[in-house]
Amino acid sequence: MYRTIMVGVDGSKPAEAAFETAMDMAKRFDARLLIVTVYAPPAIGLLGDIPPYPPTVPKEVAEKMEPLLKKYEERAKNEGVKVVESKIVPVWNTVGAGFVAEAEKQGCALTVIGSRGITGIKRTLLGSVAEYVSKNAHCDVLITRR
């Protein structure tokens, strides 16, 4: 049913829950597990710097996230997931749009993402990655809420 499962991680507790769910599902379906962090640069103002083309991951972000991705990768392999990959995906647009684009590019059948559970004005101002993914992904989306 699910041949490729992608999970979004960022080091948060909701992302940890999403990873555990995705890992379990990858084992059950004997699927490829793709562990992804999407990096979107901070919004630029009128006088801000224009980000490079193609988009890149700053060294400090890579130094923080690559060990985390490798830890998740090793954990999944130790738990019995046969095919595991991880990557940082740099984008110019939003994290949600980058996640959706990568899922489509990778031919994912399922994406798993954690929900931080923000509500009210904060959600209105900040938006929700999980909400964006659920509305725009071409594949099944599982949002974890623990």
pLDDT tens per residue, range 21-74: 999 999 999 999 999 999 988 766 555 666 667 888 999 999 999 999 999 999
Q: What integer pLDDT is reported at residue 125 of this predicted model?
A: 43
Q: What integer pLDDT is reported at residue 48 of this predicted model?
A: 61
Q: What integer pLDDT is reported at residue 115 of this predicted model?
A: 86
Annotated domain spans of the chain: 4-138
Mean pLDDT confidence for 112-135: 70
Which has the higher per-residue pLDDT, 49 or 80? 80
Q: What integer pLDDT is reported at residue 144 of this predicted model?
A: 92
Tokens of 25: 């599902």
Residue 97 pLDDT exceeds 70: yes
**In this predicted structure, which of 12-26, 45-59, 84-98 has the lowest mean pLDDT?**
45-59
Q: What integer pLDDT is reported at residue 47 of this predicted model?
A: 58
Instruction: Output the pTM of the full model.
Output: 0.88
Separation of alpha carbons 21 and 59, rounded Å: 30
- CATH superfamily of the 4-138 domain: HUPs (3.40.50.620)
Q: Which residues pair with 49 in a beta bridge?
A: none
Average pLDDT along the chain: 88
Q: What integer pLDDT is reported at residue 82 of this predicted model?
A: 96
